[in-house]
Homo-oligomer: A and B are copies of this chain.
Amino acid sequence: MQPSDKALVPFVSVDNMMRLIHYIGAEDMLRGLAEYIEADFRRWELFDKTPRVASHSAEGVIELMPTSDGEVYGFKYVNGHPKNTKSGLQTVTAFGLLAKVATGYPVLLSEMTVLTAMRTAATSAMAARHLAPKGARTMAMIGNGAQSEFQCLAFKAICGIDKVRLYDIDPGATAKAARNLAGHGLQVTTCKSPEESMEGAQIITTCTADKQFATILTDNMVGSGVHINAIGGDCPGKTELAPGILKRSDIFVEYPPQTRVEGEIQQLDPDHPVTELWQVIAGTAPGRRSADQITLFDSVGFAIEDFSALRYVRDQLIGTAFHDDLDLLADPDDPRDLFGMLQRAGG
């Protein structure tokens, strides 16, 4: 039996997501994603916002991150299992869905492991465009895991960074990132210490994966005037920066109720002042105010960024072949006749 169009939901597999990225071009897609994310941050107040719904276990966490703008509903399924790499699995995998609020019918199901890497990098660079010192050209990239090359490429595409200085506690990770970044128009320097990576850098991105209170940056390592893009501190008990740096910085966050629990600021008093990034973008709060200020984007990832990324993918898919159609929804001729549909399928 051929399902009707109403039953079909476009599905973007990992393979099709990669094809879509190459079809659009990775840098163009990062710019496009940043535009969609920025547009949604600008209308931030309109969204249903709830902290993620987390199911914790000894091994990790599985989360559902729903949101809605009143017309479209979206959610992401994402896990975080730091020990997965030991058995050759990804630490983080994800998929997401968009649906019409008016009917509840899904309109897109998509892999989001690759897409999340793209949206995280696009969000970081979009934030830096508002917060980093003018004319920044050099970024220190500390932590050279799965997210690092996406960060470097996004900062090139969106902020005009042309030099990246890579450091990881594992030189193999740094070598891998340097290999991957060759030929992308970035001047890549591999460094033997975090200090070395920060020489001449106006932007410092930290993206390490330890699930524990770590001190990737100590207070005396960070001079005035830089922008810190802190990606790795993103769950309770996992931070990267010394509290002293936080106290010298102006801190920008996505959604305070979530960041207070998951971000770098879990180390600070619960009433330590922070600025919501959307207010900077909407023009209701200042971003960078002076050349010697330290700005810090304490990023943990928020549902609206996934929503924006799925919206972007849905819009780009139109007219392309980069999707399969899943027979996900039952669509009997008469909505009251589900049983009849089932019976006829057997006949």
Q: Hey, which bits of chain A sit against chain B, CB under 8 A?
A: 1, 3, 6-7, 11, 13-15, 18-19, 21-22, 26, 48, 50, 53, 55, 57, 59-62, 64, 66, 68, 70, 73, 75, 77, 79-81, 84-85, 87-91, 93, 95, 97, 99, 101-106, 111, 113-114, 117, 144-150, 173, 176-177, 179-180, 326-332, 334-343, 345-346
When the two chains form their complex, are residues A99 and B79 in contact, meaning their CB atoms are under 8 A apart?
Answer: yes
Minimum CB–CB distance for A139 against chain B, Å: 16
Q: Using A89-B6, A90-B335 as known contacts, say yes or no to A343 and B64 having CB atoms under 8 A apart.
A: no
Cα separation A106 to B176 with both chains bound (whole Å): 28
User: A319 to chain B: closest CB distance in Å?
Assistant: 20
Closest 10 CB pairs of A and B: A79-B104, A113-B330, A149-B339, A13-B327, A22-B346, A18-B345, A146-B338, A85-B335, A145-B336, A81-B104
**Chain B residues near A144 (CB-CB < 8 A):** 336
- Count copies of this chain in the complex: 2
30 contacts between A and B (CB under 8 A): A6-B88, A13-B328, A15-B327, A18-B342, A21-B346, A22-B346, A26-B342, A55-B66, A55-B101, A57-B68, A57-B101, A57-B102, A62-B101, A75-B77, A79-B99, A79-B104, A84-B103, A84-B104, A84-B335, A89-B103, A90-B331, A90-B338, A95-B329, A111-B328, A113-B338, A117-B339, A146-B332, A146-B335, A173-B336, A176-B336
